[in-house]
């Protein structure tokens, strides 16, 4: 239950709307009980009065009461649904925003252990499950308790013994059944939440990996595993449905016992009336209506296990402390950037070997630097530390003699343009994907940049309105890479971090891109991770890394003269 406390705090933001929803629910329940109770008594009293009492019996007042309670019940139900659902949706809105705002500082370190499908399921499905907390737990319980008190006090005006008996049965039902069905439904609710997440995660992976699964003939095998998860999910749903049916049957049984008890006790007299007559119907129908109002209570606690499981799954992510925390103090964006690394050491969580080991480096403003080395030697990790995806375990990174930890996130993002190794395009137009880097850029600027990176053909047909689709599937790897370079140029930051910018490009296009980088970014500080050796002679400095260390450093001519690792790379061409 403690897992729900952080989410209950969100309800305080809409406490008046939620309280109004509970009040309207109570009014609706009392109107329903009053309608059935008054109708039962009115019909019985009318039958007893017969034609002889046509002029002595007051038909008008009870008839008006029946109409009034019927109208109140209808209007109350409408406005209760309107207010309760509106308040719940507002709470969910803030819950989603709150959850997402806690996720952003965790990326990538805090989210690395979660798969994309699992993250999506927790952020969407598990958050949506929390709406049960108000609609199926809090509101029904509050309504049931008030109904018990009001019905008992109301019937006490006629007969204290009968009223306390009915109230006692209802109160015991409210106290005993919900915890009983919570215990019974908790394992099923947890299984439902887990299996739902597993199935959606497997489905997402199956859809994303269709090409590979088909090529290697693994589609059927993967589908069988997914279907097994689905069958287990259906089995859990069946168990929950059985519990729901059992709770309804038990409530009907207890309600029937209460009705029979009222009938038996009322037959012996009600209050001072030894011959109660129509008052018997009043107590019987009141008991019947009151237990109809209690019906949702037992089923409500079945969903509590599922709600708690969802809350735990969300807290498992959002409860983490971000590894990287930015200062809130605003700083100015520099026009030129110089970098200094002082004995920087870094290791990924759970890894014993350092990805970077004692890196010391000075890069003056405006210098163009290439970083070479075997796969896994720490090149990309170095770029990620510069963007503060992680912080070094030891050592310090300085930007213009200022530690990165003392620079605000907004300033750091404006000071750095990144061409990542994995380029992501959103399912949107070409214009939308480019405007991510420069929201104020004009269409002419976008066309110019596309021309610079050799993507003029994307402007054919619909031009900047061309729909790129999910991940830009219709584009080649080289075209994706050039779009990423176009974004970096539009962002126009003083520090450019390029991770394999020419990967997947043919020799001619590679030369064009290197020439573009050399001239367009002449005044900028450039760090380029690459496996390709073309065009490195034009760079100011070349760094060769191995096992997280810098083993060689110098310009093209100096490294060739040393005949070290760089010389060996050139000899293999």
For the CA atoms of 244, 248, 250, 253, the dihedral, rounded to the nearest 10 degrees, stands at -170
Band (pLDDT 50/70/90 cuts) for residue 473 is low
The pLDDT of residue 56? 61
H or E segment to which residue 185 belongs:
helix 160-208
The residue ranking higher by pLDDT, 148 or 2, is 148
Comparing 54-63, 192-201, 234-243, 434-443, which segment has the lowest mean pLDDT? Answer: 54-63
User: Which positions ≥6 away from 256 have C-beta within 8 Å?
Assistant: none
Residue 51: what pLDDT? Answer: 60
Domain 2-318, architecture per CATH: Up-down Bundle (1.20)
CA distances from 54 to 43, 58, 98, 292 (A): 13, 8, 66, 33
pLDDT score at 285? 86
Q: Whole-number mean pLDDT of the chain?
A: 83
Q: What is the mean pLDDT of residues 172-186?
A: 84
By 3-state DSSP, what share of the chain in percent is helix, strand and coil, each rounded to 5? 65, 10, 25
Q: Under CATH, which number does the domain 339-571 receive?
A: 3.40.50.300
Identify which of 328-332, 375-379, 550-554 has the greatest average pLDDT: 550-554
pLDDT exceeds cutoff 80 at 303? no
- Quote the pLDDT of residue 573: 57
- Lowest model confidence (mean pLDDT) among 236-240, 339-343, 508-512, 525-529: 508-512
Specify the pLDDT at position 194: 83
Work out whether the CA dihedral 438, 441, 446, 452 comes out positive or negative.
negative
For 102-156, give the secondary structure using H, E and C. Answer: HHHHHCCHHHCCCCHHHHHHHHHHHHHHCCHHHHHHHHHHHHHHHHHHHHHHHHH
Q: How confident is the model at residue 53 (pLDDT cuts 50, 70, 90)?
A: low
Kindly state the average pLDDT of the residues 26-36.
Answer: 89
Is 293's pLDDT higher than 60? yes
Q: Which two tokens stand for residue 211?
A: 């090409």
**% of the chain with per-residue pLDDT over 90:** 4
Mean pLDDT, rounded, for 215-222: 85
Q: Taking residues 290-296, report their average pLDDT.
A: 81
Domain positions in the chain are 2-318, 339-571
What phi-psi label fits residue 492: left (phi over 0), alpha (psi between -120 and 50 degrees) or beta?
A: left
**What is the average per-residue pLDDT within 134-144?**
80
3-class SS of residue 426: coil
Angle at which helix 139-156 crosses helix 160-208, to 10 degrees, equals 170
Q: What pLDDT sits at residue 232?
A: 92
Query: 192 or 303: whose pLDDT is higher?
Result: 192
| Residues 170, 54 contacting (CB under 8 angstroms) | no
**pLDDT, tens digit (0-9, with 9 covering 90-100), for 306-320:** 778 778 888 888 777
pLDDT of 175 strictly over 60: yes
- Which tokens go with 111? 């989210």
The b/e string for 427-438 (b: 16+ C-beta within 10 A; e otherwise) is eebbeebbbebb
- Dihedral (CA of 404, 405, 406, 409) sign: positive
In this predicted structure, what is the pLDDT of residue 69? 87
The pLDDT assigned to 75 comes to 92
What are the pLDDT digits (tens) for 399-422?
988 888 888 888 888 899 888 888
Q: pTM to 2 decimals?
A: 0.72
Q: What is the pLDDT of residues 76-128, one digit of tens each?
A: 889 988 988 888 888 888 888 888 888 887 777 777 777 777 777 777 777 77
- Let me know: does 455 contact 466? Beta carbons within 8 Å: no
Quick one: average pLDDT of 32-43? 85
For the chain, the first-to-last Cα distance in angstroms comes to 65
More confident residue, 382 or 102: 382
> Is the distance from CB of 362 to CB of 400 less than 8 angstroms?
no
**Selected residue with higher pLDDT from 204 and 383:** 383
| The dihedral formed by the CA atoms of 277, 278, 281 and 283, expressed in degrees to the nearest 10 | -80
Highest mean pLDDT among 44-53, 304-313, 360-369: 360-369
What share of the chain has pLDDT > 70, as a percent? Answer: 96
pLDDT at 340 over 80: yes
Model pLDDT for residues 481-536, shown as the tens digit of each residue: 888 888 888 888 899 998 888 877 777 778 877 887 887 788 889 999 888 888 78
- Looking up tokens 């110098």 gives 554
pLDDT-derived band at 469, boundaries 50, 70, 90: confident
Residue 352 has pLDDT above 60, yes or no: yes
């Amino acid at each position: 239950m403690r897992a729900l406390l952080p989410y209950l705090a969100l309800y305080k933001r809409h406490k008046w709307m939620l309280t109004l929803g509970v009040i309207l629910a109570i009014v609706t329940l009392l109107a329903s009980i009053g309608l059935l109770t008054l109708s039962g008594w009115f019909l019985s009293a009318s039958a007893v009065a017969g034609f002889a009492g046509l002029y002595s019996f007051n038909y008008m007042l009870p008839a008006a009461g029946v109409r009034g309670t019927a109208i109140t019940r209808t209007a109350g139900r409408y406005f209760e649904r309107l207010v309760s659902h509106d308040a719940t949706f507002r709470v969910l809105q803030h819950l989603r925003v709150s959850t997402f705002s806690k996720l952003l500082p965790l990326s990538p370190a805090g989210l690395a252990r979660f798969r994309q499908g699992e993250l999506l399921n927790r952020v969407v499905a598990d958050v949506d499950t929390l709406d049960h907390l108000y609609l199926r737990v809090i509101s029904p319980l509050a309504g049931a308790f008030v109904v018990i008190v009001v019905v008992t006090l109301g019937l006490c005006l006629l007969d204290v013994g009968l009223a306390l008996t009915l109230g006692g049965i209802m109160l015991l039902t409210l106290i005993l059944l919900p915890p009983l069905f919570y215990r019974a439904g908790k394992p099923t609710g947890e299984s439902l939440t887990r299996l739902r997440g597993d199935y959606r995660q497997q489905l997402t992976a199956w859809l994303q990996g269709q090409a590979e699964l088909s090529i290697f003939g693994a589609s059927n095998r993967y589908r069988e595993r997914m279907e097994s998860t689905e069958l287990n999910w259906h089995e859990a749903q069946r168990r929950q449905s059985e519990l729901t049916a059992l709770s309804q049957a038990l409530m009907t049984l207890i309600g029937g016992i209460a009705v029979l008890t009222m009938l038996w006790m009322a037959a012996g007299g009600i209050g001072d009336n030894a011959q109660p007559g129509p008052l018997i119907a009043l107590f019987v129908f009141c008991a019947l209506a009151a237990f109809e109002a209690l019906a949702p209570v037992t089923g409500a606690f079945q969903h509590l296990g599922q709600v708690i499981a969802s809350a735990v799954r969300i807290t498992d992510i959002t409860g983490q402390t971000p590894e990287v925390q930015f200062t809130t103090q605003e700083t100015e964006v520099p026009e030129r950037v110089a970098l200094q690394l002082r004995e920087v050491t870094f290791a990924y969580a759970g890894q014993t070997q350092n990805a970077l080991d004692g890196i010391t480096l000075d890069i003056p403003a405006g210098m163009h630097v290439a970083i070479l080395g075997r796969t896994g030697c720490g090149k990309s990790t170095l770029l990620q530390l510069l963007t503060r995806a992680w912080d070094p375990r030891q050592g310090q990174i300085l930007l213009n003699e200022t530690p990165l930890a003392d620079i605000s996130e907004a300033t750091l993002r404006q000071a750095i343009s990144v061409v990542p190794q994995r380029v992501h395009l959103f399912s949107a137009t070409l214009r939308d994907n480019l405007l991510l880097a420069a929201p104020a850029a004009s269409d002419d600027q976008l066309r110019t940049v596309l021309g610079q990176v050799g993507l003029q053909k994307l402007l054919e047909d619909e031009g900047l309105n061309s729909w790129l689709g999910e991940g830009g599937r219709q584009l080649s790897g080289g075209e994706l890479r050039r779009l990423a370079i176009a974004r970096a140029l539009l962002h126009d930051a003083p520090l450019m971090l390029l991770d394999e910018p020419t990967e997947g490009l043919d020799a001619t296009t590679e030369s064009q891109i290197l020439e573009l980088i050399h001239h367009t970014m002449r005044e900028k500080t450039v760090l380029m991770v690459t496996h390709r050796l073309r065009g490195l002679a034009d760079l100011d400095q070349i760094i060769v890394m191995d096992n997280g260390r810098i083993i060689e450093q110098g310009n093209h001519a100096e490294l060739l003269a040393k005949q070290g690792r760089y010389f060996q790379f050139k000899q293999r061409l």
